[in-house]
Every structure is written in structure tokens, then in C-alpha cells.
Amino acid sequence: MLGPVLLAAARSDTVRRIVSAAPVTRPVVDRFIPGERRDEALVAASELLAEGLDVTFDHLGEDVTDTASALRSRDAYLRLAEALADEGLGARAEMSVKLSAFGQALPGGDDLALRHVLPVVEAAAAASTTVTLDMEDHTTTDSTLAILARLRERFPETGAVVQSYLFRTEKDCQTLAAAGARVRLVKGAYREPVSVAHQRRSEVDRAYVRCLRILLAGDGYPMVATHDPRLIAVTQSLAARLGRRPGSYEFQMLYGIRPVEQRRLAAEGHRMRVYLPYGTDWYGYFMRRLAERPANLAFFARSLAGR
């Protein structure tokens, strides 16, 4: 029951101010976000890479309400792309972007977001790496997929994300599972109405398996993003049955969540990519992580009570 409350709080400016200012917040945030600065994220990434894990960087930010902020997001990613080119890591270090940080919600948002994100995708290609477009709430799905299609005309390696909780997603998987297409499958992290999304965990999980089957049977490159042990086992057995070798798909998990399992999968020979967020605008991301697991909230509450 707490999940929806936390997801509502994730979009409240008042709660944002209170939570962000509380001194005890920082140590809890650190578990999920290795730093606010790019150099801190690069250090965290080099440690993961040295252990055989790959990464996708996320410069934190979402729901911008003016063009200046959208340009700041673009510039942060351009500087990141420069750093990645210097490091020469290629596809082992890619970038994930949220189009709402690029102006998607502003008037003329589709064109604006496309204009702002295109230089980032170009810079990624110049650095021999790729960009994946994160998926946000369902009101943005059509716009994000339309922008993806435009980007793929020149950069077919641009990654998509689909959320198994949405009723529409099996159909989207069928469309997206084309040759070479990189598609990340997640359960979905936003509060969605009954009219568009499964509400029960069991239904979301069953839909995940159906989507997984479509993506693994297709010609694309599935990116299986989940910490759920049952879904990881299902992926491995389905992949074996469909003749997919490790390397023709990958696992993805979030920084700080199930790190032992991340290393176990990498040691088994799987490509395992860690989603690595950094930046000052961590509030929305942090609240979604609390909403996913009540135990995180209990830990946070204990820290607050202990002061």
C-alpha cells in the first residue's frame, strides 16, 4: 500500500524539499547513487568495469519545465560523452536518458526533445557507444517511441525501454523485436491507472514473461532489466530453449541493488550492465527506489528516528 503513496510523493515539491534537506537522507541515497558529480560516477564505473560488469550512465534529471534546464541536461550528457570517448570504453559504457529532461513536456515537446537529444546520440556514436531512451509514465510512451523511431533512422542502435505493467507492451515488443534492435524490458516504476496498466504484481510478472518470450524469440538484442530471481531464471531457461547464447542478450540491474547477484551473473559469462545514476537531481529516482521495496523505507525511517 505504501508504494502508491511514495510514488505520489516522488512528484511533490513540498515532500521533495523536506526529504532533500533532511541530513539523514544522504547516507540512504548513497546506496543507490554513487555521487553527484561526473567524476564520482566515472570512479564508480571504473570499479564495476574492473570487475567485469558493464555500465549505463544516467545523468539524473526529469520533468524539466523550461528550455534552459533542457539545455543543461543536453550539455551534461555531451560532457559525459566526451569523457567516455577519452576513456575509450566503447559499448561497455553507454548512456541512458529521460526525454522529460530534454524538454518533452514543453510546448512542441516532441521536436524540442528530439533536437536536444540528437547531439547526444551523435556524440555517443562518435564515442563508439549507444544511448537508451528510458521510459517514463504512460502519457509519454507514444512520444518516446516516435522520437526513438526518428533517432533510429540514423542511429539504429538507439535503445528502447518497454514496461511489462502496461497493457500495450506485448504489442510494442512485437513491433520492436526487429533485427539488431536493442530493447530493455522492465516491470515499470511509475504509478499508473487501472485503465492502462496491470496493478497486481503477479499480473505484471506474467506479462513480463510473455514480453520476454517475444523479445528472446525475435531478432533484436534484449536487455533484461530486473532484480527478480524468478525472472532471471526464466530468462536463462527460455534463452537456452530458443538457442540464444549469452552475449546475444544481456542482464541489467540498478546500482546498489543485488550487487552479489550482479557479479554472479557476470562470472557465469553473462553480459551484466549496471545502471549508474549521478547528479544533484536524485529525488524522483530515489523515491521510486523506496517505493519498490518497503524495507528501504523502513531503513530510511529508522535513520530519521535515530537522530
163 is in an annotated binding site: yes
Specify whether 110 is catalytic.
Answer: no
130 is in an annotated binding site: no
Residue type, 224: V
Nearest to 33 by CA among 281, 213, 221, 266: 281
Specify whether 184 is catalytic.
Answer: yes
291 is in an annotated binding site: no
- Cβ 58 to ligand FAD, closest distance in Å? 8
Residue number with CB closer to ligand FAD (8 or 126): 8
Grid coordinates belonging to 250: 544481456
171 is in an annotated binding site: no
Residue number with CB closer to ligand FAD (151 or 253): 253
Q: Which of 92, 152, 182, 184 is catalytic?
A: 184
Q: Which of 54, 58, 134, 137 is catalytic?
A: 134
Residue pointed to by grid coordinates 541515497:
29
Residue number with CB closer to ligand FAD (89 or 160): 160
- Cβ 32 to ligand FAD, closest distance in Å? 7
- Cβ 296 to ligand FAD, closest distance in Å? 5
Where would I find the beta strands (DSSP E) of the chain? Answer: 54-59, 93-97, 131-133, 160-163, 182-186, 221-225, 250-254, 272-278
Residue number with CB closer to ligand FAD (152 or 184): 184
- Cβ 188 to ligand FAD, closest distance in Å? 4
Residues at the contact surface with ligand FAD, assessed by CB under 6 A: 134-135, 161, 163, 186-190, 225-228, 252-254, 257-258, 275, 289, 292-293, 296
Residues 254-262: contacts with CB within 8 Å, 24+ apart? 254/32, 254/227, 254/289, 255/32, 255/33, 255/34, 255/44, 256/31, 256/32, 256/33, 257/32, 257/227, 257/289, 258/227, 261/227, 261/229, 261/232, 262/53
Query: Edge to edge, what strands does the sheet with 221-225 contain?
Result: 131-133, 93-97, 54-59, 272-278, 250-254, 221-225, 182-186, 160-163
In the annotated binding site for FAD, the residues are: 135, 163, 187-189, 226-227
Catalytic residues: 134, 184
In the annotated binding site, the residues are: 98, 135, 163, 187-189, 226-227, 288-289
In the annotated binding site for substrate, the residues are: 98, 288-289
